[in-house]
Amino acid sequence: IQMKKRKIALVTGSSGQDGAYLCKLLISKNYKVIAADRRSSRDSGWRHIELGIKNKLIYEDFDLSDVNSIISIIKKYKFNEIYNLAAQSFVKASFHTPISTSDVTALGPLRILDTLKNFSPKTRFYQASSSEMYGKVNKHVLDENTKFNPRSPYAASKLFAHEITKNYREAYNMFCCSGILFNHESPLRGEEFVTRKITKQLCEVKLGKRKFLELGNIYAKRDWGYAEEYVEAMWRMLQQNKPDDYVIATNKVFDVKYFINNSCKSLNIPIMWKGKGIHEVAIIKNTKKIIIKINTKYYRPTEVDYLKGSYKKANRILKWRPKINLKKLIKMMIDADLKRLSKN
Ligand code: F7E
């Protein structure tokens, strides 16, 4: 009997939320997985520990801004697949560091693509594109044909990466795909993003470790899915006969306020809202204590107000669809944060 050869994959940004879930998925599919991060991002590797995959990965130091680190890793292994999940991914931070954000988030993937073209043109490449590329929209539901209108250095960088990925596919016939992923959350989400900030800090209030939280624009609307399901879509894109781009979303939209209200329900903290604009607050019903305040430091110079995606194409071709709804996702995140905080 001929043994099927084990596939080798590179996951850049493996220590992030999506990287960790994707590594877990690839290991379960018997891939040899090379987990690549900047040395400084790897910190404690807490996500890999939580997922129980820390000793199943091969770790390599890697930096998207350093083309030599890319060349040496691509020459060292014969990758079947590369998933580029590394980026400066926090939209707000990109306004403060637009140049380094562009260097990593826009030029980083080009460095990989050009290295692949020169040394490994058969390797399949996945680029993590983002719904932030749509920016200011005047359409109700966004899909693969909707025009982009980026509203941050992060979004402009992702758009360059998206276009250059398509260009390498068309110009050199390489197998390159972009997944246009809408917001996706989980207990492994970084604490600077709004969902995890809310679940973690509300849990701290619940446990008496914090008095209140401060947020920015609570009327922003997002299409929030569950990250572990979204990484499955990435893998499916690279298993097709033809490379292409796909929107991954839930086709549902909620505002930040809805996320807060549901998190409070899930924690049994009854709240009510008072005031308007920057003076709006949420107070705890029985004690009348303020639990949420607005702080304009969390506003963005240009905001993305509304994003809702259609996953029709992904459903038709990849047979992918979202399964966990937002209420379940919130509950999952709250339970995980309560558990972690009770340990400390
Ligand atoms: O903000 C509003 C904020 O930082 C969501 C990244 O993964 O998804 C993410 O980008 C909304 C924005 O995510 C706070 O103004 C209010 O309208 O959780 P976020 P994001 O900017 O949508 C896309 C798909 C990516 O590609 C990105 O990499 O919530 N908001 N108050 C706040 N946001 C934060 N972070 N903190 C607040 O206090």
Indicate if the pLDDT at residue 242 is higher than 80. Answer: yes
Label residue 1 by pLDDT band (50, 70, 90).
low
pLDDT the model gives residue 255:
98
User: Which candidate, 314, 321, 232, 322, places its Cα nearest to that of 25?
Assistant: 232
Q: Is the CB of 217 under 6 A from ligand 1?
A: yes
Indicate if the pLDDT at residue 43 is higher than 70. Answer: no
Going by their DSSP bridges, the two strands 124-130 and 8-12 should be labelled as unpaired
pLDDT over 70 for what percent of the chain?
99
CA 115 to centroid of ligand 1, rounded, Å? 32
User: Which candidate, 322, 150, 307, places its Cα nearest to that of 232?
Assistant: 322
Give the residue, by CA position, lying nearest to ligand 1 atom 4.
193
Arithmetic mean of pLDDT, 213-233: 98
* pLDDT tens-digit readout, 159-185: 999 999 999 999 999 999 999 999 999
Between residues 1 and 74, the one the model is more confident about: 74
Structure tokens at 133: 């590329």
- Report the alpha-carbon angle 102-107-108, nearest 5: 105
Average pLDDT of the chain to the nearest whole number? 97
Ligand 1 atom nearest to CA at 181: 24
* pLDDT tens-digit readout, 276-314: 999 999 999 999 999 999 999 999 999 999 999 999 999
Indicate if the pLDDT at residue 2 is higher than 70. Answer: no
* pLDDT tens-digit readout, 119-145: 999 999 999 999 999 999 988 999 999
pLDDT the model gives residue 42:
72
Answering whether pTM is above 0.85, one says yes
Pocket test for ligand 1, best of 183, 188, 192 (most atoms within 8 A of CB): 183
Categorise residue 173: left if φ over 0, alpha if ψ from -120 to 50, beta otherwise. left
